[in-house]
Amino acid sequence: MTAGPVISYQDEHHFACTPAELWAAIEQFEQFERWWPWLQEFRLEGDSLRDGSLLHGVVAPPLPYRMRLRVELTRCLRPLSIEAHVHGDLEGPARLVLHPHGPRGTATRVEATWTVEMMQQPMRVASRVAHPLLQWGHDRVVDVTVARFRRFLATGL
């Protein structure tokens, strides 16, 4: 059986700050390209994480391709959840749910879930022959992204 050109992700990540503090950090849009060097040409249409805001950017992983994305925030409940739809070279739904965690809710457990279809023809072809490798690479990029974000949070952004 061959996997389709879809990348699915579901995992939990823990942060040593409250959901409100994490939300405030995520809203530091001007820092995104500094935090994540693989993100380029980032811009926001809107002024915060709220319904209807649009995030635009180019994902340039350490592979010979780039993906242009537009992320439409469809439902934001501050500081609890973000639902979005990804458009462009990837298409599909995404969701982050922030749960208070730890003693007296001083930490946050984030449930991250998305399923995106690769729209670029070369990636669709690569998925036919190397889907497990693409999924593995995606998951490693997420791990590095989360670890880097934790370091920025720990150093006071």
Cα–Cα dist 91/115, whole Å: 8
**Strands 6-15, 54-59: pairing kind:** unpaired
Average confidence score pLDDT of the chain: 91
* Residue 99 neighbours by CB under 8 Å, 6+ apart: 19, 108, 109, 110, 111
**Strands 54-59, 67-77: pairing kind:** antiparallel
Please list the residues that pair with 6 across neighbouring strands. 117
Per-residue confidence (pLDDT) for residue 3, from 0 to 100? 58
- Residue that the structure tokens 């670029």 belong to: 120
The whole-number average pLDDT for the span 43-72 is 91
Answer yes or no: is 1 within a domain: no
User: Tens of pLDDT along 98-132?
Assistant: 999 988 889 999 999 999 999 999 889 988 998 99
CATH of the domain at 28: 3.30.530.20
Per-residue confidence (pLDDT) for residue 2, from 0 to 100? 46
The whole-number average pLDDT for the span 46-64 is 90
Count of helix runs (H) and strand runs (E) in the chain:
3, 7
Q: Find which of 22-26, 33-37, 150-154 is predicted with most confidence, using mean pLDDT.
A: 22-26
Answer yes or no: is 97 within a domain: yes
Answer yes or no: is 144 within a domain: yes
User: Tens of pLDDT along 62-102?
Assistant: 777 799 999 999 999 999 999 999 999 999 999 999 999 98
Answer yes or no: is 102 within a domain: yes
pLDDT at 61 over 80: no
For residue 79, give the nearest of 46, 57, 109 by alpha carbon: 109
Whether the CB-CB separation of 86 and 116 falls below 8 Å is answered with: yes
User: Tens of pLDDT along 139-148?
Assistant: 988 998 999 9
Per-residue confidence (pLDDT) for residue 1, from 0 to 100? 41
Answer yes or no: is 21 within a domain: yes
Domains of the chain: total: 1
Answer yes or no: is 65 within a domain: yes
User: Is the pTM here over 0.85, yes or no?
Assistant: yes
Q: Give the range of the structural domain holding residue 55, as residue numbers without chain letter.
A: 6-154
Whole-number CA gyration radius for the chain:
16
Tokens coding 82: 């973000």
